[in-house]
Chain A
Amino acid sequence: MNADRHVAVVTPWYPDPEVTYAGAFVRAQVEAVAGGCAELDVYHLKSWPVGAPGAPLDADPAVVELHARLLARSDVPLATAGGAVLHRVPTLTPRDPEWITHSDASARWLRAFLGGAPLKAPIVHAHVPITGGWAALENAAPGARVHMTEHSSFLAQLLEQPAARARYDEVLERADGFFVVGEPLHRLIAAEFPHHAGKLEYIANPIDFGAPRAAAPTALRRWLSVAALNERKRIDYLLEAFRRCREEDPGLTLTLAGDGKLRANLEALAEELGLSGSVEFLGSVDPAEVPALMAAHDLFVHTSRHETFGVVVVEALAAGTPVLVSRCGGSDQVLRGIEDAAGRLYDVDDDPEVLVAAYRDLRERYPERTNVPAAREHLRAKYSYETVARRHFEVWDQGARR
């Protein structure tokens, strides 16, 4: 532990009793670094939408006044990962799609929560620059160093809003350190703000490598997907490709962990495709259960159209499970140099035959012409809790010495 390292983490995403997987990677970061900090406080700025759609936040001053009063008297420090302290800061936001209002609200309610005083920590690390980052910058103590990490899959849409784009530019300008979790975000931000491109650095989400499976799968027959059931994850595509593969091998099964708006449609599709007996919908899964789930299957299949990082791909390999993954951005970077050892990458294409062909190829090569243990070791060196914690400490301590 470093006695000088006092850190505040400011984030709009953090697991809570309702959604235990939301922002699980932020909690993983907290767990990874907490042991090396004298004090670590997490401020969770969860959005609480209020008012009529389109109405400004101050439309009902009584609500705004009451909330400010409640925030100032309702701080109950809560226990969280690694012995860190968690503060829930409900952030009233208007029901509008403008990111600038959400950005303003984040800073405003954190200020109210702190009673107008600045954050005490000399090191602040925020997640999601437009909300958490802005709140951190506006509430950091004079002389404190503010770092931030961008994870957002919606950044391109956000930057289409002129006010939000201008705010993002200012955040980039003022941040002491600006990190992204993968190449797609690096490319996007560097292209949109070339004058800040030199400021961008990588920092990974930490992954637990503590519990690998006891034995490698003997055949790739029990498929697993861990993904929200939304359009971007292309589970309908997965179901069709799985159906075709199952025609060749009726013993194949598919487990779908995750929930979402498309669940009813996808359940109906599975039935329509005659897959009711071979496809299981698990619904939401607690992040703590994911390693065991990975270890209980033979093959992790990822069909996403676009990802900023690829947490689940690393989690699968951390468990020792081979992967069949779409080239969706973040996953390409994660598997660079170890594609054949880890499993198989395939192109994002609307034709399910692309996935079917990739599966056939991997099935032929597995296990002789793959090397999952080597891929696992390669990733452990980059994404383990220890590695990612060390990277954070370098960044924070370097800044403190300046």
Chain B
Amino acid sequence: MTVLFVAPKSAWRRALAAETRAAADAGHRVRLLAEEHPDWELTPLDERVEVAWTGASEIRAPEPTFVAIVLRRIPLAILRRLGRGPLRGLPSWWRRTVLGPITRRRWPQTQALREAHRRAAVEAVLAEGDFDWLVLHEPQAVELSAAALPALLEARPDLVTTFSFETRAEAARA
């Protein structure tokens, strides 16, 4: 079977690594929709797992032109020239005290953009339909498939759906 793990935020990476490996060990073709995160290095995925990365963590709300030029580019260029010797901390002070709060105010917009991007990624992978077993691995998998999945379940009543891939009771008894 082809098992598709849907984990658009990849909140539970340790479990994802273990369960996708178990699915591959069980002889399934394993696909995974996941989000990039530096901590994947701590829980690496099995090389048999075919991963589609959402790319959502790269997305940021665009900076207004005024801010980009008047508050970022020009002042930083000047402060870099001035910031030598005892004044070398000036650029990072500017980033922290002036640009930091401006960036933080854009965070809700960034989050909304990322959410929309993740939703589009989930809907695209569901539309491909190239799977027999769907593992909705985290809350966001359910939230973000709410528009697309009901129609798929109608069209494919035999589609297996679960929330994890773990050893089944019947297999343990065998």
Chain A residues proximal to chain B, CB less than 8 Å = 16-18, 48-51, 60, 62-63, 65-67, 69-70, 73-74, 76-80, 83, 85-86, 88, 90, 92
Inter-subunit contact A16/B15 (CB<8 Å): yes
Smallest CB-CB A-B distances: 7 pairs: A79-B172, A18-B15, A17-B15, A48-B139, A18-B12, A62-B146, A77-B169
A18-B12, A70-B161, A76-B162 known; 16 other A-B pairs, CB under 8 Å?
Answer: A16-B164, A17-B19, A18-B14, A48-B138, A48-B142, A62-B147, A63-B146, A66-B142, A66-B145, A69-B150, A69-B153, A73-B161, A74-B161, A79-B173, A83-B172, A88-B163
Docked Cα-Cα span, A85 to B173, in Å, equals: 11
Q: Tell me which residues across on chain A come within 8 A of B47, comparing CB atoms.
A: none
Chain B residues proximal to chain A, CB less than 8 Å = 12, 14-15, 18-19, 136, 138-140, 142-143, 145-147, 149-150, 153, 161-164, 166-173
- Give the contacting residue for A50; candidates B142, B147, B150, B168; CB below 8 A: B142
Docked Cα-Cα span, A378 to B139, in Å, equals: 45
Inter-subunit contact A90/B139 (CB<8 Å): yes
Inter-subunit contact A74/B163 (CB<8 Å): yes
Q: How far is the CB of B39 from chain A (nearest CB, A)?
A: 12
Docked Cα-Cα span, A83 to B14, in Å, equals: 25
A79 and B167 in contact, given A18-B12, A66-B149 (Cβ under 8 angstroms): yes
Q: Tell me which residues across on chain B come within 8 A of A76, comparing CB atoms.
A: 162, 168
Inter-subunit contact B170/A77 (CB<8 Å): yes
Inter-subunit contact B163/A60 (CB<8 Å): no
Most buried by B among A49, A51, A60, A70: A70
Q: How far is the CB of A310 from chain B (nearest CB, A)?
A: 28
Q: How far is the CB of B140 from chain A (nearest CB, A)?
A: 8
Docked Cα-Cα span, A69 to B153, in Å, equals: 9
24 A-B pairs with CB atoms under 8 Å apart are A16-B15, A17-B15, A17-B18, A17-B164, A18-B12, A18-B14, A48-B139, A62-B147, A62-B150, A63-B143, A65-B150, A66-B146, A66-B149, A67-B142, A69-B153, A74-B163, A77-B168, A78-B167, A79-B168, A80-B169, A86-B166, A88-B164, A90-B142, A90-B163
Q: Tell me which residues across on chain A come within 8 A of B162, comparing CB atoms.
A: 74, 76
Docked Cα-Cα span, A85 to B169, in Å, equals: 6
Q: Tell me which residues across on chain A come within 8 A of B161, comparing CB atoms.
A: 70, 73-74
Docked Cα-Cα span, A37 to B3, in Å, equals: 35
